[in-house]
A and B are shown apart, each in its own frame.
Chain A
Amino acid sequence: MAKYKMHLLVCGGTGCSASKSTEIVDNLHLSLKEKGLENDVQVILTGCFGFCEKGPIVKVMPDNTFYTEVKPEDAAEIIAEHVIKGRKVTRLLYTDPENKEHIADAKHMGFYKKQLRIALRNCGFIDPENIEEYISNDGYAAIAKVLTEMASEEVINEIKLSGLRGRGGGGFPTGVKWEIASKNHADQKYVVCNADEGDPGAFMDRSILEGDPHSVIEAMTINGFAIGATKGLIYIRAEYPLAIHRLQIAIGQAREYGLLGKNIFGSGFDFDIELRYGAGAFVCGEETALIHSMEGQRGEPTFKPPFPAQSGYLQKPTNVNNVETYANIPIIILKGANWFNKIGTEKSKGTKVFALAGQINNVGLIEVPMGITLREVIYEIGGGIKNGRAFKAVQTGGPSGGCLTEKHLDTPIDYDNLIAAGSMMGSGGMVVMDDTSCMVSIAKFYLEFTVEESCGKCTPCRVGNKRLHEILEKITKGNGTMEDLEALRNLAGVIKDTALCGLGQTSPNPVLSTLDNFWDEYVEHVKDKKCRAGVCKSLMRYVIDKDACVGCTACARNCPVNAISGEKKMPHVINDELCIKCGACIERCKFNAISIK
């Protein structure tokens, strides 16, 4: 990197790419060429910076200037002003929402202040398609250390000592998992990276693979050495074309550099990696289902034991870890377990990446030390609730997790605290909801997901969740009874106790946690036939206030079903029979004359 005086880092994650970040790169190149600066300034398309809300992002190094919401036509100005004259383009800087001041340096932004980037250390910093950049940031130094200085037991001990737990959701200690796999002897063992990120609203694994694919390749190689496996497989969703593309490039480069293949670092250790593609099945995130899918079968889970560490892919001992877990490995080897285990809480070490989404000001990808509170995440990093509305709930753990409320805001986040609060860590989706979200509908939304994604192998999940969904449907339609609420709780308990796999056992969690935390809202739906958030269509009526209506006809003209009638300059009326409750009239009314009753 040394030969360039300046670097322009442009975010090439999925979100920013959708907002034309590759065009920005083209225009930057063009402007640099025009000014004859192409040999002095380097333009790099990096992985995700995390601040997706304000994308596309362009970062100027070495001065760490952070430009937000950049458009392709801004490229020329950045070159002419910042690069040549050294004047920052103020209008593209991030504006602090509190004091309205422009912040030039990313370090001072509320979004980044409390973050600690370990797994994401290279995302948004290096060019993921260039192995040299990874190497110049200590890349492949950990595998070099492992292969030349360490015995496999030492590697496993280091990971055990670090306290790293699986980042895919369950939180099983990684070192222990490796130890079990290492003790099972076989002529062939396998290392598998689970990149089947299926939780709706979670995109951390994708960002790591897009922004720093080599870290996963290096970690899998270390894992292979530790347990005595020579083959690695990455099971990745077909829905992630960019991540697949970058992994293919990275694997090719690693082979070219002799970092994958035969006799790595002259140590006599062989290791290579292949990609396997998912085909859209949530259950394949469960490790036994994932293994069956890799074998070319339907991705149905099987009973454990035998665990994959005993009999996994092609009946051979197999170690399955998640992408984020792997991203932590190289740096633990380099900096040592005693560095890593100082971060976090007593039982949950290190950091966790969360995909912060929903009704929050700063949507994006964040990495925080374990033990941080939800309040710090939502209000300090996330910048609070959108449009100044009231916080209602935060959902963690996806379809296996639950909704937490105001009273949980000061709970330190770690694996055990989240389970105690009725949710779970999950893979790291964190969806924030305000008072426009109906909690009964949210529970129904997750159940819809589970019903659709249930593999159908065991009855509690296949039939039980369908019944749960039907009861919730009945309640949102206004036909629920208090007995239904009782039935929900009982059935949820049965599914939890009797489903075959982890996904089935956790599928009633969204129902149970909303019943616990939002009981009043359920009762309102049942007894008062009311949805306070105004989401359940069957429970609401649109009404025009005849005193406030000026008869501008805006609502009538925009009603898709012609349910609104009235003379010009006279109060209008909505025909309840025809109204489909789409809300188009409310959006159009400038006089606040329409309300939901």
Chain B
Amino acid sequence: MIKVKLAEDKINKIKEICTSFGNKAGEAINVLHKVQGEFGYLPAEVQEVIAKELNVSVANIYGIVTFYSFFTMIPKGEHPISICMGTACYVRGSEKILDEFKRQLKIAIGETTPDGKFSLNCLRCVGACGLAPVVLIGDKVYGRVTTDKVQEIIGEYKA
């Protein structure tokens, strides 16, 4: 027996989203986008519900979730930090910026701080190469970041 940890209303929300896409297997990616938008991440329990609704195997859904980097099975922090690792940012020193964030937050890539405030990730080019190196916190873009500015940027969200 699968132990379902999800609350009834959450299961209903997932079902509602699946229904809005006609419960079609071909809409799996759209369903996952919508569900992740709702819950922030896609834990195994959520994938089980989706698989059942779309009438495909859980392995199939898991295969899609793990294939695309946009989907995550780990909850992100309240303020997700993304360091751009596109070529333009890389040649302008984004690796040093990443190291500094890692050092100050004491977490590695893909991890979330114990208080749930920050999570750290890399992404490939947001297309703001004129501002390289670029850091995103939530939807906010910070351009021309230097190692000196890292503490200040984190500080904005600590209060």
A280-B70, A357-B87 as given contacts; A200 in contact with B124, CB under 8 Å? yes
CA–CA, A17 and B127, complex, Å: 12
Q: Are A363 and B29 in contact (CB under 8 A)?
A: no
Shortest A489–chain B CB gap in Å is 23
Cβ-neighbour of A280 out of B69, B126, B143 (below 8 A): B69
A293 to B123, CA, bound (A): 20
Decide yes or no whether A206 CB sits under 8 A from chain B. Answer: yes
Render B83-111 as a binary contact track against A, CB cut-off 8 A, 1 for contact.
00111101110001001000100000000
On chain B, the residues within 8 Å of A197 by CB distance are 127
* B4 located at the interface, meaning its Cβ lies under 8 Å from any Cβ of chain A in the complex: no
- Give A432-467 interface residues, CB cut-off 8 Å to B: 433, 437, 442, 445, 449, 455
Docked pose: A297 CA to B25 CA in angstroms? 9
* Interface residue ranges of A44-91 to B (CB < 8 Å): 52-53, 55
Least CB distance, B133 to chain A, in whole angstroms: 11
Q: Which residues of A contact B68 (CB under 8 A)?
A: 278-281, 299
* Chain B residues within an 8 Å CB radius of A52: 128-131
Tell me, yes or no, whether A38 is within 8 Å of chain B by CB: no
Question: In this assembly, does A202 line the interface, its C-beta being within 8 Å of a C-beta of chain B?
Answer: yes
- Do B88 and A357 have beta carbons less than 8 Å apart? yes
Confirm or deny: A12 has a beta carbon within 8 angstroms of a beta carbon on chain B.
no
Closest to B63 in A: A298
Query: Please, which residues of chain B bring their CB within 8 A of the CB of A584?
Result: 147
Counting chain A residues whose Cβ lies within 8 A of the other chain, the interface size class is: 35 or more
**Is there an interface contact between B90 and A445, defined as CB atoms closer than 8 Å?**
yes
| Minimal beta-carbon separation of A55 from chain B (angstroms) | 6
User: Which chain B residues border A371 with CB–CB below 8 Å?
Assistant: none
Q: Is B28 an interface residue (CB 8 A)?
A: yes
A203 close to chain B: CB less than 8 A: yes
Give the chain B neighbours of A198 by CB distance below 8 A. 124
Binary contact readout B107-139 vs A (1 if CB under 8 angstroms, 0 otherwise): 000000000000000011111111110100001
B88 close to A358 (CB less than 8 A): yes
Closest CB-CB distance, B85 to chain A, in whole Å? 7
Determine whether the beta carbon of B130 is less than 8 Å from that of A279: no
Q: Which residues of B contact A298 (CB under 8 A)?
A: 63-64, 67
- Is A341's CB within 8 Å of the partner chain B? no
A239:B126 contact, CB within 8 angstroms: yes
B residues 19-74 with Cβ under 8 Å of A?
A: 24-30, 32-33, 63-64, 67-71
Q: Does A429 have its Cβ within 8 Å of any Cβ on chain B?
A: yes
* Docked pose: A14 CA to B141 CA in angstroms: 9
B26 to chain A minimum Cβ distance, whole angstroms, is 4
Note all chain A residues with C-beta closer than 8 A to B143. 15, 18-19
Smallest CB separation, B59 vs chain A (Å):
11
Assess the B129–A357 pair: CB atoms within 8 A.
yes
Inter-chain contact A560/B29, CB cutoff 8 Å: no
Q: Is the CB of B67 within 8 A of A277?
A: no
Min CB gap A465→B, angstroms: 16
Q: Which residues of B contact A587 (CB under 8 A)?
A: 147
Decide yes or no whether A296 CB sits under 8 A from chain B: yes
Enumerate 14 A-B pairs (CB-CB under 8 Å) in ascending A order. A14-B128, A18-B128, A18-B143, A200-B124, A200-B125, A207-B127, A277-B30, A279-B29, A279-B32, A296-B26, A297-B64, A298-B63, A298-B64, A358-B88
Using a CB–CB cutoff of 8 Å, the interface residues on chain B facing chain A are 24-30, 32-33, 63-64, 67-71, 85-88, 90-92, 96, 99, 103, 123-132, 134, 139, 141-143, 147
12 extra interchain contacts, Cβ-Cβ under 8 A, other than A200-B87, A200-B124, A279-B71? Answer: A14-B126, A18-B142, A18-B143, A200-B85, A201-B86, A201-B88, A202-B125, A278-B70, A280-B70, A296-B27, A298-B67, A429-B87
A-B CB proximity, top 3 nearest: A52-B130, A203-B127, A357-B88
